[in-house]
């Protein structure tokens, strides 16, 4: 107990929280990307305009962001590697596992199969966007309450799939829940509790 | 990371066709099949032409004569949930609801579902197979448990689309535009059998684009259904499937089409089943004969003969269901 408090105190003293670390990482990555563009081989190889970085506007977790992206960059890559939104997980990168699920205009989609340029002008919601300040959002809270994970790797994707379902349908049946999270694999097999969590999340959102 | 490509999102079909005319240009609709193919280097793209800026291709409309026009960019979810499609073309709505996973249905388009590339693991893997311009089909003497039992010649894929069989069964038409103008093709002949050309899946010529699907107005007494059997309950392709579109007069079938899925390199019209059921009352004896006829001419490979009892049993169940309305 004492040790834990001391540790907590230490974090406060240096003003260095995990969240702060991640967002500074994000900023760093953006800076790197911007400087990286100058040395990108695309221009050197004499490639025409479409190959160059394109400027796109995205509304990410309620914040409008202008980004320079290469045509081949997936939304997953941009969110994770350039914005530090590591709630978006890399799984199969072929649309089979659901770890990279994000909401695009409130609809769950795979970040790995969406080119960032194709998302231009869209409203993107990632796990980070479900936080209510420092508190967990209702779906996140429900996953904790119902112990809906073991290793936790698929959890952000599962939560986003449930979030998307509840935005479209606030009172889903068990069959609807099972169907709507069927695009998200859980290798630990926490499915039963994931279904319970989705049901609990619907309750929490209504209350 | 995918190999590099240039990207363009034109706002008109004409512009898109022009861009698709350049070497190694690939069309992007939903992107759910294109991106994995590029990532796995099944084929290359120097230029990706996104047609998502062409909003005319994104609608479901009833026309004056009562037929239905579905824009090629309509998502699979929209097809599955559209009230008119659910009411009049139940088999199509059911098939769309069975496609892949929710996320893929939200993104994938009906046009793309028809034009997707084969899912054979040799084709998708690092095998220079016959379909990719190589010399042999690796599936024929290899791991062929998910391959075809009809129509294999040279190549033994099954066509992966869930929506193509009901579209063929409803006698839908597909509108296409390209460098030479517009043309219309019957959905039933949109896909190309390997015996005709092993290197192509559809009748599309270079730079041609599927723009719309037209479904004829159904007559009174039309019943339809789609059944998909897969190895697990979610997110998988069909081991066996069938689209039934039958016109009933009382308990008698007057006309209709039966199209199999997971059976052949193209959506496979079962003339054998049609011959048994059309003109007959759909009673138990007819159903048994029809189900047996479905697999009579099947030519299974070494590891997929389980598909024969599977198709037979599935046909029997589905015909019983449709009989009871």
Instruction: For residue A15, give the CATH number of its domain.
Output: 3.10.20.30
At residue B56 the predicted structure's pLDDT band, cuts being 50, 70 and 90, is very high
* Residue from the list A42, A93, A108 with its beta carbon closest to the beta carbon of B39: A93
DSSP calls for B139-205: TTTS--TTS-SSS-BSB------SSHHHHHHTT-EEEEEETTEEEEEEGGGSB--TTT-TT-SBSPP
Q: Which two tokens stand for residue A111?
A: 């970040």
Residue A130, Ramachandran bin (φ over 0: left; ψ between -120 and 50: alpha; else beta) = alpha
Segment B157-215, tens digit of pLDDT: 999 999 999 999 999 999 999 999 999 999 999 999 999 999 999 999 999 999 999 99
**Can you give the pLDDT at residue B55?**
93
By C-alpha distance, the chain A residue nearest B233 is A182
Does A16 have pLDDT greater than 60?
A: no
> How far apart are the C-alpha atoms of B170 and B269, rounded to whole Å?
12
- DSSP, collapsed to helix, strand or coil, labels residue A71 as coil
Segment B69-89, tens digit of pLDDT: 999 999 999 999 999 999 999
At residue A47 the predicted structure's pLDDT band, cuts being 50, 70 and 90, is very low
At residue B1 the predicted structure's pLDDT band, cuts being 50, 70 and 90, is confident
Q: Looking at per-residue confidence, does B102 or A53 come out higher?
A: B102
Contact call for A109 and B50, based on CB within 8 A: no
Segment holding B249, helix H or strand E: strand B240-249
* Residue from the list B31, B47, B104 with its beta carbon closest to the beta carbon of A50: B47
DSSP calls for A34-69: HHHHHH-HHHHTT--GGGS-EEEEEEETTEEEEEEE
Per domain, the residue ranges of chain B are 1-52, 59-115+158-215, 222-323
By C-alpha distance, the chain B residue nearest A164 is B103
Segment A50-61, tens digit of pLDDT: 557 899 999 999
By C-alpha distance, the chain A residue nearest B3 is A72
Contact call for A182 and B101, based on CB within 8 A: yes
Domain span at A33: 2-129
Residues of A in contact with B109 (CB under 8 A): none
Segment A107-123, tens digit of pLDDT: 999 999 999 999 999 99
Rounded to two decimals, the ipTM of the complex is: 0.95
DSSP calls for B42-79: SS--SEEEE-TT-GGGS-EEE-TTS-EEEETT-BHHHH
Work out the mean pLDDT of chain B and round it to a whole number. Answer: 97
By C-alpha distance, the chain A residue nearest B33 is A113
Segment A138-179, tens digit of pLDDT: 999 999 999 999 999 999 999 999 999 999 999 999 999 999
How many separate domains does chain A show?
2
Q: Residues B2-31: what's their mean pLDDT?
A: 96
Which architecture, in CATH terms, is B1-52?
2-Layer Sandwich (3.30)
Residue A170: burial class (beta carbons within 10 Å; 0-12, 13-18, 19+) = exposed
* Residue from the list B40, B47, B106 with its beta carbon closest to the beta carbon of A108: B106
Residues of A in contact with B4 (CB under 8 A): 42, 47, 51, 70-72
Does B58 have pLDDT greater than 80?
A: yes
What residues of chain A, 63 to 92, have a C-beta less than 8 Å from chain B? 70-72, 74, 77
Where a domain ends, among A76, A105, A129?
A129
Please tell me whether residues A16 and A106 are part of one structural domain. yes
Please tell me whether residues A110 and A47 are part of one structural domain. yes
**Can you give the pLDDT at residue B292?**
98
Where a domain ends, among A74, A98, A129?
A129
At residue B141 the predicted structure's pLDDT band, cuts being 50, 70 and 90, is very high
Centroid of chain to Cα B279: 27
What is the Rg, in whole angstroms, of the alpha carbon atoms belonging to chain B? 19
> How far apart are the C-alpha atoms of B197 and B185, rounded to whole Å?
17
Q: Any residues with CB less than 8 A from the CB of B313 and at least 6 apart, and which?
A: B291
**Can you give the pLDDT at residue A52?**
75
Q: How many beta carbons lie within 10 A of that of residue A97, not counting itself?
A: 24
Q: Domain B59-115+158-215's class?
A: alpha beta
By C-alpha distance, the chain B residue nearest A100 is B103
> How far apart are the C-alpha atoms of A126 and A39, rounded to whole Å?
30
From the CA of A142, how many Å to the nearest CA of chain B? 22
Q: Which two tokens stand for residue A35?
A: 């400087």
Please tell me whether residues A125 and A145 are part of one structural domain. no
Does B239 have pLDDT greater than 70?
A: yes
CB-based contact, A114 to chain B, within 8 Å: yes
Segment holding B222, helix H or strand E: strand B222-229
> How far apart are the C-alpha atoms of B245 and B89, rounded to whole Å?
9
Q: How many residues does chain A have?
A: 207
Please tell me whether residues A202 and A114 are part of one structural domain. no
> How far apart are the C-alpha atoms of B274 and A55, rounded to whole Å?
56
Q: What is the edge-to-edge ordering of all strands in the sheet holding B268-269?
A: B222-229, B240-249, B252-261, B268-269
Contact call for A51 and B4, based on CB within 8 A: yes
In CATH, which superfamily holds the domain spanning B222-323? Answer: CO dehydrogenase flavoprotein, C-terminal domain (3.30.390.50)
From the CA of A54, how many Å to the nearest CA of chain B? 9
Q: Which two tokens stand for residue A86?
A: 């590591």
Place of tokens 């004499």: A46
What is the percent of chain A where pLDDT is above 90?
A: 74
Does A197 have pLDDT greater than 90?
A: yes
At residue A27 the predicted structure's pLDDT band, cuts being 50, 70 and 90, is very low
From the CA of A16, how many Å to the nearest CA of chain B? 33
Contact call for B4 and A54, based on CB within 8 A: no
Is the Cβ–Cβ distance between B156 and B301 less than 8 Å?
Answer: yes
């Amino acid at each position: 107990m004492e040790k834990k408090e001391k540790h907590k105190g230490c974090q406060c003293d240096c003003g260095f929280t995990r969240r702060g670390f991640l967002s500074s990482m994000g900023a760093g990555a953006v800076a790197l990307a911007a400087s990286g563009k100058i040395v990108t081989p695309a221009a050197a190889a004499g490639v025409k305009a479409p190959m160059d970085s394109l400027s796109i506007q995205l509304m990410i977790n309620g914040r409008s962001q202008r980004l320079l992206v290469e045509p081949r960059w997936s939304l997953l890559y941009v969110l994770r590697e350039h914005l530090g939104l590591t709630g978006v997980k890399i799984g199969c990168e072929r649309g089979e596992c659901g770890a990279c699920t994000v909401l695009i205009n409130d609809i769950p989609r795979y970040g790995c199969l969406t080119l960032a340029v194709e998302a231009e002008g869209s409203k993107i919601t990632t796990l980070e966007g479900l936080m209510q300040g420092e508190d967990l959002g209702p779906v996140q809270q429900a996953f904790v309450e119902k112990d809906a994970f073991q290793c936790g790797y698929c959890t952000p994707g599962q939560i986003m799939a449930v979030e998307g379902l509840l935005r479209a349908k606030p009172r889903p049946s068990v069959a609807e829940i099972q169907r709507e999270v069927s695009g998200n694999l859980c290798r630990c097999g926490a499915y039963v509790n994931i279904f319970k969590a989705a049901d609990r999340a619907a309750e929490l959102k209504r209350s | 990371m995918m190999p590099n490509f240039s990207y363009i999102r034109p706002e008109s079909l004409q512009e898109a066709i022009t861009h698709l005319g350049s070497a190694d240009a690939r069309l992007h609709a939903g992107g759910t099949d294109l991106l994995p193919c590029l990532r796995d280097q099944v084929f290359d793209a120097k230029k990706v032409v996104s047609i998502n800026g062409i909003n005319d291709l994104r609608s479901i409309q009833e026309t004056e004569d009562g037929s239905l026009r579905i824009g090629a960019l309509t998502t699979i979810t929209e097809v599955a949930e559209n009230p008119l499609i659910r009411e009049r073309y139940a088999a199509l709505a059911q098939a769309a609801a069975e496609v892949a996973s929710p996320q893929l249905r939200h993104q994938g388009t009906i046009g793309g579902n028809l034009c997707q590339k084969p899912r054979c693991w040799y084709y998708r893997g690092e095998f220079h197979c016959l379909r990719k311009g190589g010399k042999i089909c690796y599936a024929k003497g290899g791991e062929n448990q998910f391959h075809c039992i009809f129509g294999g010649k040279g190549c033994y894929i099954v066509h992966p689309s869930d929506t193509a069989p009901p579209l063929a069964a409803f006698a839908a038409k597909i509108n296409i535009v390209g460098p030479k103008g517009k043309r219309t093709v019957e959905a039933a002949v949109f896909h190309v059998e390997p015996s005709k050309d092993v290197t192509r899946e559809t009748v599309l010529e270079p730079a041609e684009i599927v723009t719309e699907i037209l479904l004829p107005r159904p007559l009174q007494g039309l019943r339809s259904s789609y059944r998909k059997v897969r190895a697990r309950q979610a997110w998988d392709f069909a081991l066996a499937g069938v689209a039934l579109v039958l016109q009933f007069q009382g308990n008698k079938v007057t006309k209709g089409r039966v199209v199999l899925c997971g059976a052949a390199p193209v959506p496979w019209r079962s003339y054998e089943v049609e011959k048994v059921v059309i003109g007959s009352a759909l009673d138990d004896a007819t159903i048994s004969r029809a189900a047996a006829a479905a697999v009579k001419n099947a030519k299974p490979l070494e590891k997929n003969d389980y598909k024969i009892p599977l198709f037979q049993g599935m046909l029997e169940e589905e015909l019983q269901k449709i009989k009871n309305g």
